[in-house]
Amino acid sequence: MQTKELENGISFKTKARILVFMIASIIFLLSAFIFAIYRLQNRNASSIIEKKLDSAQQLFNAQLESDANMMSAVLKSFLSDDKMKAVLSSRNRKLLLEYSKSIFEQLRNEHKITHLYFSGPERVNILRVHNPGKNGDIINRFTMLEAERSKKIFYGIELGQMGTFTLRVVAPCYENGRLLGYIELGEEIDHLTHKLSEILVLDVYLAIKKKFIKRKEWESGMSMLGHQADWNRFADVVIINEDQDILSRDFADDIIRGHYSKDINEGSMKKNGRYYRSRLNHIKDVSGFEVGEMIIVYNVTELIASRKTYTIVASSIFLAVGSLLYFIFYIYLSKIEQELKSAYEKLEQSNSSLEKKVDERTMELKESQEKLVQTSKMAAVGQLAGGVAHEINNPLGVILGFAQIVVRNIKEGDNLYMPLKSIEREAIRCKNLVSDLLTFSRTGKSTMELIDLNTTIGSALALVETRSKTQNVEIIRIFGEGLPKITANSNQIQQIIVNLCNNAIDAMPQAGKITIGTSKLDKEIEITVSDTGTGMSEETKKHLFEPFFTTKEVGKGTGLGLSLVYEIVKKHNGNIEVKSEQNTGTTFIIKLPITPTVPL
């Protein structure tokens, strides 16, 4: 029972420990996995955003370059046209308008070109094809001055007086080395940002620093272009163009203001469950002044949502695989647990059988140890008794001899007759006792012969019958028939029977039965002597065969009877056992070999 609890305890604890470790590992791995996926996704999303925002600036520059090239090409075609040269050198505004009007219309429609100027060699404006009413002023813009200085086509972004950004391309027109004047083309930059916004699906805002423009002129410029003009919207800048799809004005204000108030180029914001990333790019005009900024706003809500979805899906798959692994492991562990249990059971079985064997061996050892003690005691007492008996034997012979001579020579009526007769009787008793002691000590001589056991036992019973009758003890004989003769000393066998019967009679003071049986076993003859007497206590049984052990009163028993019996049985290579129950009776079982194995 204890082993079972132990075994269950061990296997349960081991299984629980392994499973807890497994769950902890799965949780740890899952967390690490989610973290890694999230980081990876984050990095991916960041790189997509960065690329998009970078590409906005690159696309803007590329667009600027390509438009400038396109306008340069147009101007070159003008310069190679002799008719144009003739009209320009004539400075006839009407002719110039006639010449250029249709071309300008075409350029405006197809390429969003908004400006076409013709100026004289002193940079005095002859005709603004887009605004014919205004002329005669000297053009002092950087692009014009650079074209004059370099005598080549020159272009760049310039901030106009009305606060608009314009890409201007100026070409000096020469004929045979003589400067005829300048032709200039221009386009509003918001045309470029609009394209940018369309291609990249971004919101683009163009901001100009207030310090570079005048409010009134800017406001009139904006109304002329049809844009909203809100001077007070921001502290330092005004928005000249906004290509917006998604952002509300308030939100756009928050983003743009965020950049200026925190003085940052990169920004991120969340509003109404949507995420935005923004970037502020400085815009330099052709003379190198940072006159404003282009603010790009990218709606990254979907990107972030897809990142979340990806993370959730990947984690779910991992969790499912982890759970599957857990269950496989669980089943596997249960199997091991079963095997462990059966191994424990086997161990327990072999353990108990081992314990049983150890108990048996211990019992055997105890018995043989007791026998050894008994034998050595017997040997010691036997030696002592033998020595004493031998010394007493001769004087006793003298006493008995003289007593018998004297008794024979006096008459019965003599006064000394009775005492001498008593001396003779007691001397005979002593002689018998000495003879017993000598038998016990093995020093006495014993002759072995082939005897019929039933006859020997019968004559022994005749000796005890007188006493048994006086005590109302019935003697029952159950003798086996046709028993083989055995080699034994008949006197000693008789001694055995007399002693056992005397003890039995002693144990039945009121009356009783003695049953004496003989029978043949395989290689032995069995003699049983049973009585219906008092029986023996366990303590008596333990010491029964020890010499001088008696429970009888002093003078009534010497305690030599059964030790003598034991010695005789052993001398005959036999065996003696006793079965006794208090108030029921006692049985002595003696087994004597039919053929003695040890020579006597």
The residues of the shown chain that bind ligand ATP, judged by CB under 6 A, are 499, 503-504, 507, 531, 533-534, 536, 540, 544, 549-552, 557-563, 586
Nearest of 305, 296, 303 to residue 267 by alpha carbon: 296
Nearer to ligand ATP, 342 or 510 (CB): 510
From the list Mg ion, ligand ATP, none, partner contacted by residue 299 (C-beta under 5 to 8 A by kind)? none
The DSSP call for residue 553 is P
Q: Which two tokens stand for residue 397?
A: 């012979």
Taking CB within 5 to 8 Å according to partner kind, which of Mg ion, ligand ATP, none is near residue 549? ligand ATP
User: Nearer to ligand ATP by C-beta: 148 or 436?
Assistant: 436
Work out whether strand 165-175 and strand 178-188 pair parallel, antiparallel, or are unpaired.
Answer: antiparallel
Q: Which does 75 bind (CB under 5 to 8 A by kind): Mg ion, ligand ATP, none?
A: none
Residue among 186 and 561 whose Cβ is closer to ligand ATP:
561
Q: What angle do CA 106, 138, 219 make, to 5 degrees?
A: 70
With CA atoms as reference, report the closest residue to 249 among 274, 228, 226, 219: 228
User: Minimum distance from CB of 12 to ligand ATP (Å)?
Assistant: 60
Give the shortest CB-587-to-ligand ATP separation in angstroms: 9
| Residue nearer to Mg ion on the CB measure, 297 or 464 | 464
Q: What is the dihedral of CA 354, 357, 362, 363, to 10 degrees?
A: 150
Please choose which of Mg ion, ligand ATP, none residue 92 contacts, taking the beta carbon within 5 to 8 angstroms, the exact cut-off set by kind.
none
Tell me if 535 sits within 8 A of 581, measured CB to CB. yes
For 360, the token pair is 């048996």
What span, in angstroms and rounded, lies between the C-alpha atoms of 88 and 117? 11
Nearer to ligand ATP, 56 or 544 (CB): 544
φ/ψ of 121, rounded to 5, equals -65, -20
Q: How far is the CB of 446 from ligand ATP (least distance, A)?
A: 20
* CA atoms lying within 13 Å on the CB side of residue 182: 31
Min dist CB 570 to Mg ion, Å, is 18
515: helix, strand or coil: strand
Question: What are 433-438's contacts with CB under 8 Å, separation 24+?
Answer: 433/558, 434/389, 434/392, 434/393, 434/396, 436/495, 436/560, 436/564, 437/385, 437/386, 437/388, 437/389, 437/560, 438/386, 438/389, 438/390, 438/393
Q: Rounded to the nearest whole angstrom, what is the least distance from the CB of residue 352 to ligand ATP in the complex?
A: 39
Alpha carbons 515 and 476: distance in angstroms, whole number? 5
- Binds 558: which of Mg ion, ligand ATP, none (CB < 5-8 Å by kind): ligand ATP
Q: Cβ-closest residue to Mg ion?
A: 561
Give alpha helix (H) positions in 410-489. Answer: 417-441, 453-470
Q: How far is CA 462 from CA 387, 492, 509, in A?
A: 32, 15, 20
Tokens for 314, please give them.
């990947």
- Out of Mg ion, ligand ATP, none, what residue 586 binds, judged by CB under 5 to 8 A for its kind, is ligand ATP
Query: Alpha-carbon distance 117 to 121, whole Å?
Result: 13
Residue 143 partner contact from Mg ion, ligand ATP, none using kind-dependent CB cut-offs of 5 to 8 Å: none
Q: How far is the CB of 569 from Mg ion (least distance, A)?
A: 15
Q: How far is the CB of 388 from ligand ATP (least distance, A)?
A: 16
Nearer to ligand ATP, 119 or 586 (CB): 586
552 touches, from Mg ion, ligand ATP, none (C-beta below 5 to 8 Å by class): ligand ATP
Complex with Mg ion: residue 208 or 564, whichever CB lies closer: 564
User: Nearest to ligand ATP by Cβ — which residue?
Assistant: 561
For the bound state, the minimum distance from the C-beta of residue 531 to ligand ATP, rounded and expressed in Å, comes to 5
Integer angstrom CA distances of residue 396 from 127, 196, 383, 558, 561: 183, 152, 20, 19, 22
Minimum Å distance from CB 550 to Mg ion? 7
> Residue 101 or 377: which CB sits closer to ligand ATP?
377
State in angstroms the smallest separation of the CB of 400 from ligand ATP. 21
Q: Which residues bind Mg ion (CB under 5 A)?
A: 503, 561
Task: Decide: helix, strand or coil at residue 233.
Answer: coil
Choose between 100 and 503: whose C-beta lies nearer to Mg ion: 503
Q: Which residue bears the tokens 């002691």?
A: 437
* Residue placing its CB nearer to ligand ATP in the complex, 493 or 562: 562
